[in-house]
Amino acid sequence: MKMKRMIRSLLGAGALLLTTHSYAFIKGADISWLTEMEDNGYKFINRWGYQQDVLSILRDDYGMNTIRLRVWVNPSDGYYSSLEDVITKAKWAKAAGMSIMIDFHYSDTWADPGNQWKPAAWSSLSFDDLMAKVWSYTRDSMVALKNAGITPKWVQVGNETNNGMLWNDGMASNNMRNYAWLFNSGRNAVKEVFPNAKIIVHLANCHDNANFRWIFDGLKKYGSQWDIIGASSYPKNVSGMSWSQATQRCLNNLNDMVSRYGKDVMITEVGVPWDDPEAKKIVADVISKVRHVRDGRGLGVLYWEPQAYNWKGYTLGAWNPKTRQPTDALEAFLE
């Protein structure tokens, strides 16, 4: 069985040593596509030219210590990014001695600044019932992880919630209170099962300080509590400025978040075109910027789907489709 083979591979001496190591700086990747890619026959070659599993490559060759996994409620394919699929990959990460971040999208598909649609099964719920559903769904998911032997270190309650989540009820521009209360429902459910898990509020566009202030001021107004402010940074995708301007504005924003709310910050998503000649330089700059957040409150950086190559049109991975090997973008994590 594929999962068992991977677990045996990962449970080597190096993995056992890593399980007791405490990392001061988070370096990681979201690898949520991995099961689907493997089931479609994708293979991965390490920097030395040998076929190897992705988690071992990320851990052993690039010093990564964290895996992030997205959760969809009822995905259309019935499996990938479902809780069952997430548990499979979380077991791989645990076997590799890596910490785990769970990313609730609260949708059946992608949740991002332009798409935060409720799961179809929740579409007709009243607002009170929707809050109850967010709580019970989140709690049941946490219990399932716990029963599987998984203890997430961080949990995102929503993904890129620049205008809230669970639209239209939780659209922040329509009703900030509703968004805050839905967030509170998810946050409280996580803490009931895993009191020590760190709660992340995650927004896209790290350079957009005005949006961050608006959302976090709104959450604070309605009594929300969170542990970490997470941000996405795709510097080459920012219009109207150079990538270096985008990363500098990102740092300015992260420093403001620390000053304004007294919370730790991190980049939970970073990505650069795989064939960009400056890819390593850009990723290294993002890592450096997070390391230079004021008061040492920049926690780390995670690459989004680095293993993706020739996959669903996505071009911001860090794998060469011709060689099936990592690009030098990942070498930035070696610092």
Residue 281's identity, in one-letter code, is K
Q: Where are the beta strands (DSSP E) in 96-169?
A: 99-104, 154-157
Question: Could you say which DSSP state residue 47 is in?
Answer: T
Does the active-site annotation cover 269?
yes
Question: Which tokens go with 231?
Answer: 């941000």
HSE on the CB side for 131, CA within 13 Å? Answer: 12
Among candidate residues 323, 225, 244, 241, the one with its CA nearest the CA of residue 286? 244
Catalytic residue among 38, 160, 278, 305: 160
Is residue 318 a contact partner of residue 279, using CB atoms and an 8 Å limit?
A: yes
Catalytic residue among 36, 38, 192, 269: 269
Phi, psi dihedral angles at 42 (to 5 degrees): -70, 140
Is residue 3 a contact partner of residue 92, using CB atoms and an 8 Å limit?
A: yes
Alpha-carbon distance of 183 to 165, in angstroms, equals: 8
Phi, psi dihedral angles at 247 (to 5 degrees): -70, -35
Catalytic residues, by residue number, are 160, 269
